[in-house]
Structure 1
Amino acid sequence: MAGGFSKDDALQEQIDATIDDAIEQIRTRNQHAQQPSATECDECGERIPEPRCAALPGVRLCVACQTQLDQRQQLAAHYNRRGSKDSQLR
């Protein structure tokens, strides 16, 4: 079923793009987990505590910078790919 000016398979393309983004994020996390943890934050240069390095193999950011990154990613996850008026009203 076509919706407006979109192609018939536009919804499936959006779903596929969302899944591809999630898979890419997981692959990135797994690559970092296989590397040794950093002793200093890649963003701000603050020292990363040993317990954090031990708990999260491959950690690259301090708690503060990781929190900011998580918040930015959470906002991006709520991005409306469809852009339809109906989905924006929810």
Structure 2
Amino acid sequence: MANGWARDGAVQDQIDDSVKDALVIARSRLPSGDGRAECEECGEPIPQARRRALPGARTCVECQTKRDARPSFSAFNRRGSKDSQLR
């Protein structure tokens, strides 16, 4: 495929680098450290197995499930169509 001055495979290399950068950012956002022994929302003890599986856990499974179920809204238009940008 002709792509100007770029060497063969340069586009794929750029995609791979973008994915690697996104992984580094996502991993840096994961909770770390000792976490908590009790849930910060309900005060119930967080099981040792959860704290081992997810270092830095601050909520119990029930509270985290409720937190994840809440709808999140973004100000960014991710649809990308002109119609959605005009609304």
- Please report the TM-score for the alignment, with normalisation by the length of structure 1: 0.49
- Please report the TM-score for the alignment, with normalisation by the length of structure 2: 0.50
User: Is 1:43 aligned with 2:38?
Assistant: no
Amino acid at match of 1:54: R
2:67 corresponds to: 69
How many matched pairs? 58
Measured after TM superposition, the shift of residue 79 of structure 1 is: 4.8
Could you list the runs of 5+ residues in structure 2 that have no partner in the other structure?
A: 1-24
Q: Please report the RMSD computed on the Cα atoms of aligned residues, expressed in angstroms.
A: 2.8
Larger radius of gyration: 2
- Within 2, Cα distance between the matches of 1:64 and 1:26? 23
- Within 2, Cα distance between the matches of 1:38 and 1:58? 7
Match for residue 76 of structure 2 among 57, 78, 81 = 81
Could you list the runs of 5+ residues in structure 1 that have no partner in the other structure?
A: 1-22
Of structures 1 and 2, the one scoring higher in RCO (CA 8 A, sep 6+) is 1
Runs of 4+ in 1 over 2 A off after TM superposition: 25-29, 78-82
Identity of aligned residues (%): 45
Q: Which has the higher helix share?
A: 1
SS state of the match for residue 65, structure 2? Answer: helix
